[in-house]
């Protein structure tokens, strides 16, 4: 029998008060859990233990023609489920059918059916653990709240928004009957070419670390009581160095020295481990020629032994097979399984040929190629996770106990994050905000498109059905609606309530009046094409219409994508978008460029002709409304770039570059001048008001290694509008045994300051934070001279020197 637990989830517009839930009846005494695990392990057969290490895709046990795809209507096939769960003892299931979002009711009914096979029909009675990618909301749940993507959240520079996203996502994922979320992404978003930069919290290790800790607290609760029915087990990913590829493309090789790995890539994961993250997913690529899934060094020596991670290590999609099939480090799949399990993998996201995985791993154990102790260790960790999630008492949560699912308060929190993230990059002659009564022409492929506002992982892997879902089309009909190319009233379910979400055009129309706002796309994304494919509609029509409007709102950017389908060969905006922009720049009307992008696409060719530039990133379902409020002046923009915005294709660098990147050495016959060409600096973003930094003070300019660097600065709002400013603190090591970074972010604080008022901002930074990993991969703090910088971005700073003894 499935236990039902009534959960009360209270939301506040300012902060989620459910962050500290009441204790449930979950067993919290670790020694007592250990006793239960020991007792259970002693009863388990080898097949049952290996089954716990096996995760399959839902389509394998769903009704349909084959294991790779199923019917659009989610329904469990009892014959397939019996084979997988009862005969092969599979312990985990993930994903949805055909990448389609389902209602909470559908999720509950199907996961309940799965649990009956695991609990009611097996002697060992171990519940299935269900996992899902809920990336900026409950991705595969119809009606779920969609927050801004992680990169957009980072642009708020306010970790409260990451916490709130995590808490709402956890609640709504549990409302779907799912206790395990494959999130957050703690990779560094180093490379704008990479197709998953938008899933990160930006390029800086400190920024990623702080936002990572916040979202994990939202997912798991401040006390990590994941048995609470509004919390989930987080899965930090993708350990490690995943987005530092040479090619800039997904799942391709990276070459990272150990000291670089520890100095930049591992820090966010270490902080997440210390914060209590329960599980981790592994980098699908290679580091220094070795697939991470086969690396004993990375998985056991570093992750387990050095970082102290005691949770479950999960593969990514089919990555054990790829050791043989793709990377050619294993002669066959059996050898691939041996390498991965011995390296430290606890659970394989198989996801289809589970029979092969289970049988081959069984052979390896019986042959002595994988020790029984390794199997027991992995099984123990998986069982602990299931006990901590309270799955033995409550294997599936009931959607009826979640009255706040998809509620107004959650939407308010998503709106706050979206409005706080919007980054004003240019505002010539203070053209923004636009006065009421203005006649506005909205144009560009992103101007009337919910899919573009959200990006991938929105009701679908690639996010391609978003416009249908928000209008109330049920999951089993979205493919029909897409094929027909039209939205018929007959396809809209009476059982679903269409959300009041609006596109940029619709949102601006609501603010400025339908009679004052016109939409003509000019260019569009090709229906059924790749994310980068575009078609020209009628650019001349847009140019003609511009003559009768006061302002042009040019909405450019990207269509939705993620992972390998999002690989690109040209970082420039599509040539048709550039063509539209250039044509409009000659109309004699002010052009406000709205960038709706998951990564910084190059705009240097058109930037000089834009009167204003607003980066909205991927702001989610409330992004159109948030943008309209910024354009009208209802919201004073306060977002800051969480990455460096490059100017040219061969000018890709983080703000913490090495000194040799910039040189001024033209002597004799040789010119060794070097420069970086950024369009906008990391941390950059302007406001409708102005801020003045003054009275910068250090408490002490001579410090010991165990001291704290204390500093203060006064920020004055010299304008006539209230606003929030992100105060950023950087340090520079002036000389070091390893060429030091140009500067590194050490602290930040977002402060609200009324017009004409000032605020004193204080920072305390442990001197030990200034240490670095040297060429022997030893974390050292070297004596000498340092600079500390304070300012509104990584370039415009006031500085002071100090000395470490």
pLDDT by residue (tens digit) across 268-327?
999 999 999 999 999 999 999 999 999 999 999 999 999 999 999 999 999 999 999 999
Residues 6+ apart with CB under 8 A from 263: 205, 772, 773
Which position has the token pair 């203060």? 712
pLDDT for residue 471: 82
DSSP 354: H
Give the strand pairing for 678-680 and 666-667. Answer: unpaired
Query: Which uninterrupted H or E stretch holds 591?
Result: strand 591-596
Residues 6+ apart with CB under 8 A from 367: none
Structure tokens at 578: 């550039």
Cα separation, 630 vs 687, whole angstroms: 10
If one compares 482 and 575, the residue with the highest pLDDT of the two is: 575
DSSP 62: B
What pLDDT, in 10s, does the model give residues 738-761?
Answer: 999 999 999 999 999 999 999 999
Whether 14 has a pLDDT exceeding 80, the answer reads no
DSSP 125-189: -PPPEEEE--SSS-TTBTT---PPPHHHHHTTT-HHHHHHHHHHHHHHHHTTT--EE---B-S--
DSSP 436-458: TT--EEEESTTTT-HHHHH-SSS
Please enumerate, as own/partner, the contacts of 357-366 that have beta carbons within 8 Å and a separation of 24 or more. Answer: 357/54, 357/320, 358/47, 358/50, 358/51, 358/54, 358/88, 358/89, 358/90, 360/333, 360/334, 361/50, 361/53, 361/337, 362/46, 362/47, 362/50, 363/334, 364/334, 364/337, 364/338, 365/46, 365/50, 366/46
Number of other CB atoms surrounding residue 533 within 10 Å: 13
Contact between 725 and 753 (Cβ < 8 Å):
yes
Given pLDDT bands bounded at 50, 70 and 90, which one contains residue 655? very high
Average pLDDT of 657-686? Answer: 85
Given pLDDT bands bounded at 50, 70 and 90, which one contains residue 642? very high
pLDDT for residue 20: 38
Going by C-alpha positions, the residue among 146, 164, 150, 268 that lies closest to residue 219 is 164
C-alpha atoms less than 13 angstroms from C-alpha of 428 in its C-beta half-sphere: 11
pLDDT for residue 667: 64
Query: Which uninterrupted H or E stretch holds 647?
Result: none
Q: Kindly name the residue from 133, 191, 316, 629 that is annotated as catalytic.
A: 316
Q: What is the pTM of this model?
A: 0.95
Bridge partners for 802 per DSSP: 786
Phi-psi map region of 276: left, alpha, beta (phi>0 left; psi -120 to 50 alpha) = left
pLDDT for residue 619: 98
Average pLDDT of 41-62? Answer: 98
Bridge partners for 94 per DSSP: 57, 131
Average pLDDT of 572-582? Answer: 98
Structure tokens at 699: 């408490």
- Out of 90-94, 461-465, 626-630, 707-711, least confident range: 461-465
C-alpha atoms less than 13 angstroms from C-alpha of 137 in its C-beta half-sphere: 33
Average pLDDT of 647-675? Answer: 84
DSSP 767: G
pLDDT for residue 487: 59
What pLDDT, in 10s, does the model give residues 459-480?
Answer: 999 999 998 888 888 777 877 7
* Percent of the chain scoring above 90 in pLDDT: 89
pLDDT for residue 24: 42
Average pLDDT of 144-171? Answer: 98
Average pLDDT of 518-539? Answer: 95
pLDDT for residue 2: 37
What pLDDT, in 10s, does the model give residues 100-129?
Answer: 999 999 999 999 999 999 999 889 999 999
Give the sign of the dihedral formed by CA 574, CA 579, CA 585, CA 590: negative
Mean pLDDT score of the chain, rounded to an integer?
94
Whether 16 has a pLDDT exceeding 60, the answer reads no
Structure tokens at 225: 């009581």
Give the sign of the dihedral formed by CA 662, CA 665, CA 666, CA 670: negative
Whether 167 has a pLDDT exceeding 60, the answer reads yes
What pLDDT, in 10s, does the model give residues 434-460?
Answer: 999 999 999 999 999 999 999 999 999
Average pLDDT of 546-551? Answer: 97
Whether 643 has a pLDDT exceeding 50, the answer reads yes
What pLDDT, in 10s, does the model give residues 776-797?
Answer: 999 999 999 999 999 999 999 9
Contact between 464 and 450 (Cβ < 8 Å):
no
Average pLDDT of 653-681? Answer: 85
Catalytic: 187? no
What pLDDT, in 10s, does the model give residues 335-378?
Answer: 999 999 999 999 999 999 999 999 999 999 999 999 999 999 99
Cα separation, 375 vs 53, whole angstroms: 8
* Percent of the chain scoring above 70 in pLDDT: 94
- Out of 30-44, 477-491, 567-581, 589-603, least confident range: 477-491
Given pLDDT bands bounded at 50, 70 and 90, which one contains residue 668? low
Contact between 412 and 163 (Cβ < 8 Å):
no
pLDDT for residue 231: 98
pLDDT for residue 11: 43
């Amino acid at each position: 029998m499935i236990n039902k637990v009534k959960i009360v989830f209270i939301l506040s517009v300012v902060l989620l008060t459910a962050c500290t839930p009441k204790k449930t009846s979950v067993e919290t005494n670790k020694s007592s859990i250990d006793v239960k695990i020991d007792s259970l392990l002693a009863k388990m057969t080898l097949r049952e233990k290996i089954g716990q290490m096996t995760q399959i895709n839902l389509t394998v046990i769903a009704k349909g023609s084959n294991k790779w795809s199923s019917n659009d209507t989610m329904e469990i096939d009892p014959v397939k489920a019996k084979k997988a769960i009862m005969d092969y003892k599979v312990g985990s299931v993930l994903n949805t059918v055909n990448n389609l979002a389902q209602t909470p009711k559908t999720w509950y009914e199907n996961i309940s059916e799965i649990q009956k096979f695991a609990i009611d029909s097996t002697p060992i009675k171990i519940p299935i653990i269900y996992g899902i990618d809920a990336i900026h909301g409950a991705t595969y749940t119809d009606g779920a709240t969609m927050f801004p993507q992680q990169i957009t959240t980072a642009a708020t520079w306010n970790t409260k928004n990451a916490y709130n996203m995590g808490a709402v996502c956890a609640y709504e994922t549990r409302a779907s009957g799912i206790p395990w979320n494959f999130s957050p992404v703690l990779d560094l978003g180093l490379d704008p070419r990479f197709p998953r930069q938008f899933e990160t919290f930006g390029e800086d290790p400190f920024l990623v670390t702080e936002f990572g800790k916040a979202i994990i607290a939202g997912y798991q609760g401040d006390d990590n009581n994941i048995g609470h029915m509004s919390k989930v087990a987080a899965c930090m990913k993708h350990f490690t160095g995943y987005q530092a590829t040479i090619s800039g493309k997904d799942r391709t090789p990276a070459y990272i020295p150990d000291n670089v790995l520890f100095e930049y890539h591992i820090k966010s994961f270490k902080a997440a481990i210390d914060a209590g993250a329960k599980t981790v997913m592994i980098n699908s690529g290679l580091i220094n020629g070795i697939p991470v899934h086969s690396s004993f060094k990375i998985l056991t020596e570093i992750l387990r032994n050095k970082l102290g991670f005691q949770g479950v290590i999960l593969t990514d999609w089919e990555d054990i097979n790829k050791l043989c099939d793709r990377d050619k480090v294993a002669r066959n799949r059996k050898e691939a399984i041996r390498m991965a399990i011995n390296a430290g993998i606890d659970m394989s996201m198989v996801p289809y040929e589970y029979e092969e995985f289970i049988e081959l791993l069984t052979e390896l154990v019986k042959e002595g190629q994988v020790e029984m102790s390794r199997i027991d260790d992995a099984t123990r960790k998986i069982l602990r996770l299931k006990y901590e999630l309270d799955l033995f008492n409550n294997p599936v949560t009931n959607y009826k106990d979640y009255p706040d699912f998809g509620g107004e308060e959650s939407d308010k929190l998503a709106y706050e994050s979206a409005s706080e993230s919007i980054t004003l990059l240019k505002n010539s002659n203070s053209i923004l905000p636009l006065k009421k009564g203005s006649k506005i022409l909205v144009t560009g492929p992103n101007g009337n498109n919910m899919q573009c506002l959200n990006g991938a992982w929105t009701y679908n892997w690639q996010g391609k059905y978003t416009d249908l879902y928000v209008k109330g089309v049920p999951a089993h009909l979205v493919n029909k609606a897409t094929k027909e190319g039209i939205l018929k009233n007959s396809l809209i379910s009476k059982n679903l309530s269409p959300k009041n979400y609006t596109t940029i055009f619709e949102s601006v129309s609501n603010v400025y009046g339908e009679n004052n706002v016109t939409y003509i796309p000019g260019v569009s994304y090709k229906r059924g094409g790749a994310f980068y494919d575009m078609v020209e509609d009628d650019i001349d029509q847009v140019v003609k219409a511009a003559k009768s409007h006061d302002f042009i709102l040019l909405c450019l950017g990207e269509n939705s994508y993620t992972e390998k389908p999002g690989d690109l060969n040209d970082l420039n905006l599509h040539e048709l978008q550039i063509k539209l922009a250039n044509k409009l720049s000659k109309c004699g009307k002010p052009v406000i460029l709205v960038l709706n992008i998951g990564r910084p696409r190059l705009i240097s060719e058109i930037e000089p002709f834009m009167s204003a530039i607003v980066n909205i990133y991927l702001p989610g379902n409330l992004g159109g409304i948030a943008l309209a409020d910024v354009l009208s002046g209802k919201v004073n923009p306060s977002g800051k770039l969480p990455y460096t915005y490059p100017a040219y294709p061969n000018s890709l660098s983080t703000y913490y570059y090495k000194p040799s990147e910039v040189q001024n050495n033209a002597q004799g016959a040789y010119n060794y001048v070097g420069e970086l060409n950024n369009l906008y600096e990391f941390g950059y973003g302007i406001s409708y008001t102005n801020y003045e930094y003054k009275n910068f003070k250090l408490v002490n300019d001579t410090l010991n290694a165990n001291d704290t660097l204390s500093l203060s600065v006064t920020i004055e709002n010299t304008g006539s509008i209230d606003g929030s400013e992100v105060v950023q603190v950087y340090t520079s090591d002036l000389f070091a045994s390893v060429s030091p970074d140009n500067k590194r972010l050490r602290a930040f604080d977002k402060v609200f300051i009324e017009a004409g008022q000032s605020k004193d901002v204080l920072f305390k930074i442990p001197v030990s934070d200034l240490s670095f990993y040297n060429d022997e991969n030893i974390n050292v703090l070297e004596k000498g001279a340092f600079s500390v910088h304070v300012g509104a971005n990584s370039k415009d700073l006031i500085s002071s020197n100090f000395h470490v003894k």
